[in-house]
Amino acid sequence: MLQSTPVSLSSPSRRRSANAARAAQLLLPTLGCITLVTLLTACGGPALESSRIVQNKAKDTSASTAEKLHEAIDAGDVAQVRQRLNQRADPNQPVGPDEDTAMHAAVREGNEDILNLIMSKGGKTDALNARKKSPLMVAVEMGRLPLVKILVSGGADINEKGPGHITPLMQAALKNRLQVIRFLVESSAQTEAEDGRQRTVLFYGAEGADEETMKYLLTLGLDVNAHDRQGQTPLMEAARTNNADAIRAMVAEGADINNPKNDKGRTALDIARNRKSEDAEKALLELGAKP
């Protein structure tokens, strides 16, 4: 009866594989990953296994290089960032649990020089992280106007729609970033855009804007009594979030306190009371809401 003979560690085939792997590692810095993998794959046999080793090593090296790039960005070290980019660190490779690219990292760091440098090396303005946010959306959210300007001048879509079809202008209103709002409007942002719930920027201002910002938003010509899919108005949104400043600004511009009702038959005052929004309730009553 024939028995299979095990291949020893010193067998010719095993030695050829080991030699091919060592040769591949030596040639990687010279030939580059793509060229070397193509060559090894064409050779087949032990060389084919070496090509897999090279690919895995290249992935590990790429990840490590990208992480070091992000470390340099976080440290605000422009020279180190330039060095990493010159060493072919990929500025568009996601890093960390948030899967931020180098562009996102530069925005979070707030460094204009680093952001410009990364863009000059191929950083993408439309890259999305794990939360589906672009560098522009992050810059708007953080209120970093100089970085917003750099990204827009670099081709970022000023009317992009993020999760929930929220635009940068809506995000700026929600975070009460008046200077960013002004810039976006002056840069021809679509002020009448609606999100996935048919809400305009006024709804977002009603939730997060102070009186000054709300007054500016009300100059954009939008309907202060508009309804979303649930029959809510911006005034009702302000009542829900207890934003008395926004309530005063909207009522001064014609927001109807008593007549509009949402799909549940509730007025702004009903909503304020249901949510225990005491400041909003007080403002509505002072402005003529019927109990």
Q: For position 179, which CATH number holds?
A: 1.25.40.20
Helices (H), the chain: 12-31, 33-43, 46-74, 78-86, 102-109, 112-120, 135-142, 145-153, 168-174, 178-186, 201-208, 211-217, 234-240, 244-252, 268-274, 278-286
Question: Same domain for 85 and 181?
Answer: no
Is the model more confident about 154 or about 46?
Answer: 154
Task: Give the integer Cα–Cα distance in Å for 268 and 289.
Answer: 8
Residue 141 within a domain: no
Q: In a 10 Å sphere around its CB, with 0-12 CB exposed, 13-18 middle and 19+ buried, how is residue 57 labelled?
A: middle
- Total domains in the fold of the chain: 2
Query: What is the CB neighbour count within 10 angstroms for residue 146?
Result: 11
Question: Same domain for 164 and 277?
Answer: yes
Taking each helix axis from N to C end, the angle separating 46-74 and 33-43, rounded to the nearest 10 degrees, works out to 170
Task: Give the integer Cα–Cα distance in Å for 61 and 87.
Answer: 11
57: pLDDT confidence band, cut at 50, 70 and 90?
A: very low
Question: Same domain for 216 and 286?
Answer: yes
Residue 2 within a domain: no
Question: Same domain for 204 and 271?
Answer: yes
Question: Same domain for 173 and 127?
Answer: no
Residue 6 within a domain: no
- SS3 category, 78: helix
Question: Same domain for 165 and 285?
Answer: yes
Residue 140 within a domain: no
Question: Same domain for 89 and 124?
Answer: yes
Residue 243 within a domain: yes
Q: What is the mean pLDDT of residues 157-184?
A: 98
pLDDT for res 126 = 97
Residue 155 CB partners (closer than 8 Å, separation 6+): 125
- SS3 category, 87: coil
Statement: the pTM of the whole predicted model exceeds 0.85: no
Question: Same domain for 126 and 162?
Answer: no
The overall longest dimension of the chain from CA atoms, in Å, is 102
Residue 27 within a domain: no
pLDDT for res 259 = 86
Domain that holds residue 71: 52-131
Question: Same domain for 164 and 279?
Answer: yes
Residue 126 within a domain: yes
Task: Give the integer Cα–Cα distance in Å for 285 and 196.
Answer: 32
Residue 45 within a domain: no
Percent of the chain with pLDDT over 70: 78
